[in-house]
Amino acid sequence: MLATINFFDVLFLGEWNTRVVVLGAAMLGLAGGVVGTFLVLRKRALLGDTVSHAMLPGVVGAFLVMQAMGGGGKSLLGLFVGAALAGILAAWAVPALRRSTGLKDDAIMGVVLGSGFGLGIAMLGIAQGLPGGNQAGLESFIYGRTASMIQADAIAIGVTAAATLLIAIIFAKEFRLLCFDESFGRAIGRREGLLDLGLMFLAVVITVVGLQAVGLILVIALLIIPAASARFWTDSFTSMAALAGGIGAVGCWIGASISALAPKLPAGSIIVLTLALMFIVSMVCGVKRGAVRRVVRAARLKVRTGRQHLLRAAAESMELSGEDYWTFDNVLQARGWSPRNLRSIHHRAARSGEVVPIGSGRYRFSDCGYEASEQVLRNHRLWELFLIRHADIAASHVDRDADLVEHVLGADLVAELEQALERGDETPSSPHPIGHTL
């Protein structure tokens, strides 16, 4: 009972310290999810990782400067300033190196990330060898220290996150144009380079305030995982940004709460693992791009194409034989199906009422089945006509290629091709002029 009460006290912010930590982390997750949406759509997912790792020499350098000036070197504001300067330098270096070297972004980010982190580790070793260096707590910027967050830290994170969200909302249209059609943006006078730097600046801000929560190694998760998770659920940009912010906030809320219940578990890693679990759920169950959705869609397409192929093969068999029925063996030879597969398709067509078995392996269309077969055969030959005229498909291959793509015919394309059909055009696969076969 005590454990249950404690769990709900933590989850619903019954304790002051828990409230400070959880709300601070949730605000960070909210801002990270929204800004991360732009990064993912801009194909700059690794930018946050590059900036965060390159911040380490800035943190250590700020410590060394403050200590050399007679201070203790432990001023959190001073360390954040150093991290921000290093992050801005790293963010600026990516487009600058791209313009000057012609290398791809991923290669440049790898160079900046590795060089910055290596320099930071070397400087960290120097700093820890100085008096008081071991007690400076610089390692916390690598691994994070969410549990030690105080009220002032939470307020600072909340204000920074709110300001970042406000900037993202104000310039959402410009950032959206940058992500989807930067060429059009340049044509109407939008300064692509300035917008790119603005987006990088937002990523730097989120990365700086996220150092204390999850550390520079894991802060990339706050920027990328929520946005990547939201992509499985929607095709709308606005919905994706809102959902990514919600996933980031909820993931940080739950992760920080679990860490409060189990103090020995580092909060930063638990937050990231919670976000990773939400990503897996989204990847499997997402209504737009989830694995279950894709499997169901593929199965439905297979059933639909099998039905259309059966209707077409049966109609063509009846055309050639001159009978009002077709046989199982004739359709089997025409399509190259296995007997088991054809029986399954026949069974589904019979259940739908389109096909009526009349015995001895013979079948007949019902009224609705006859109408459906006419439409399927007509669409197929329309598509053959389109492939011959507009896609330069050889006559010997047109029937095969039409089988692959005829199921994507839209109403507009059908209407356009019907005009050509009414003129009596013929196709190689038709025994008679198309305009007179149906």
Q: Which residue has the tokens 């169950």?
A: 285
User: In whole angstroms, how large is the CA radius of gyration of the chain?
Assistant: 31
Check whether residue 318 and residue 196 sit in a common domain. no
- Whether residues 311 and 229 fall in one domain: no
- For residues 214 and 114, state if they share a domain: yes
Give dist(CA 244, CA 238) in Å, integer: 10
> Does residue 294 sit within a domain?
no
Pair 336, 230 in one domain: no
Task: Kindly report the backbone phi and psi dihedral angles of residue 203, in degrees, each rounded to the nearest multiple of 5, phi listed first.
Answer: -65, -40
Q: So what's the pLDDT on residue 261?
A: 76
Are 333 and 220 found together in one domain? no
Give the pLDDT band of residue 10 (cuts 50, 70, 90): low
What are 272-310's pLDDT values in tens digits?
Answer: 899 999 999 999 998 888 899 999 988 888 888 888 888
pLDDT score at 12 = 63
Specify the higher pLDDT residue, 386 or 392.
Answer: 386
The residues with which 359 forms a beta bridge, in sequence order, are 362
For the sheet with 355-359, list strands across it: 326-327, 362-365, 355-359
3-state secondary structure the chain: CHHHHHHHHHHCCCCHHHHHHHHHHHHHHHHHHHHHHHHHHCCCCCHHHHHHHHCHHHHHHHHHHHHHCCCCCCCHHHHHHHHHHHHHHHHHHHHHHHHHHCCCHHHHHHHHHHHHHHHHHHHHHHHHCCCCCCCCCCCHHHHCCHHHCCHHHHHHHHHHHHHHHHHHHHCHHHHHHHHHCHHHHHHCCCCHHHHHHHHHHHHHHHHHHHHHHHHHHHHHHHHHHHHHHHCCCCCCHHHHHHHHHHHHHHHHHHHHHHHHHCCCCCHHHHHHHHHHHHHHHHHHHCCCCCHHHHHHHHHHHHHHHHHHHHHHHHHHHHHHHCCCCEEHHHHHHHHCCCHHHHHHHHHHHHHCCCEEEEECCEEEECHHHHHHHHHHHHHHHHHHHHHHHHCCCCCCCHHHHHHHHHHHCCHHHHHHHHHHHCCCCCCCCCCCCHHHCC
| Mean pLDDT (the chain, rounded) | 77
Range 96-122 average pLDDT: 84
285 and 305 fall within a common domain: no
pLDDT tens digits for range 422-435? 665 544 344 333 33
Question: What's the total number of domains in the chain?
Answer: 2
Q: Work out the average pLDDT over 357-371.
A: 84
Model confidence at 360: pLDDT above 60? yes
Question: What pLDDT score does 233 carry?
Answer: 93
pLDDT of residue 275: 92
Domain span at residue 412? 299-436
- Are residues 57 and 192 both part of a single domain? yes
Average pLDDT of span 238-250: 92
What integer pLDDT is reported at residue 244 of this predicted model?
93
Indicate whether 251 and 316 sit together in one domain.
no
Q: What is the mean pLDDT of residues 329-340?
A: 78
Residue 164 in this model has a pLDDT that exceeds 70: yes
CATH number, domain containing residue 352? 1.10.10.10
Domain check: are 32 and 154 in the same one?
A: yes
Spatial separation of the C-alpha atoms in residues 148 and 141, rounded to whole Å: 12
- CB atoms inside a 10 Å sphere around CB 321: 12
Does residue 125 sit within a domain? yes
Same domain, 221 and 169: yes
Domain assignment present for residue 115? The answer is yes
**Same domain (yes/no): 257, 334:** no
The percent of residues in the chain predicted with pLDDT above 70, rounded, is 76
326 and 259 within one domain: no
Least confident of 146-160, 281-295, 350-364, 405-419: 405-419
Tell me the average pLDDT across 299-324: 83
> Last residue of some domain: 270, 289, 308?
289
**Residue 93 sits in a domain of what CATH number?**
1.10.3470.10
